[in-house]
Amino acid sequence: LRGALFEAHARDESGYRDEGGHKQMWEAARDLAFEKPRIPGDVLMRMMGRGRRDGARERAFPQIDEKLEALISTMAQVLVVEVFAMGTFAWGEALLSDPELSAAPKAAGDLIRYIRSDESPHVEYLRTALSELRARRLRTLAGGEIAGRTVVDGILHRVLEAVTRERPKQQRDDVRRDLVAALQAQGR
């Protein structure tokens, strides 16, 4: 996984050397549709929120190897992001393909369709790998076993909890903080 599928997935998303990835494809689609709008550099990062929490992550399953738990957690997080992104693809494709809104509806929409088709194998390899782990028994550090279903379902539950509850709250808090700072900077 680490040297092959994970590497290919990372290259699809962010590009490799002089080849662009999905990030650059989204930007190209936006630039085609809206004729290179002026976008402040920090917009994407603000939309994504704070990202990772500071400090050590509390382990959900300390009875298994830490590297195995981290691998399963990473796979679950990426799978959830990919599944939630499907709505973004539908929105982006509809918006950028609309000739009323887009300067290049065919080219911009096609770029989003290409990204969407690239995402299908990402979802499938993650789904397959997590399903395989879920169907097995995992060895504990003490020499026992724990049901893969318990570990995978527990980790997926934590990831979904973070995405659906914690992240929106963090984003609201960040917007409030930014608005207060902007108003204070204007002397209000």
Per-residue model confidence as pLDDT tens digits over 144-171? 999 999 999 999 999 999 888 887 788 7
**59 in Cβ contact with 131 (< 8 Å):** no
* DSSP bridge pairs for 137: 147
Per-residue model confidence as pLDDT tens digits over 71-115? 999 999 999 989 888 888 899 999 999 999 999 999 999 999 999
Question: Phi/psi of residue 40, each to 5°?
Answer: -60, 145
**163 in Cβ contact with 80 (< 8 Å):** yes
* DSSP bridge pairs for 138: 146
For the cut 70, the answer to whether the pLDDT of residue 34 exceeds it is yes
The C-alpha atoms of residue 136 and residue 16 are separated, in whole angstroms, by: 35
pTM greater than the 0.85 cutoff: no
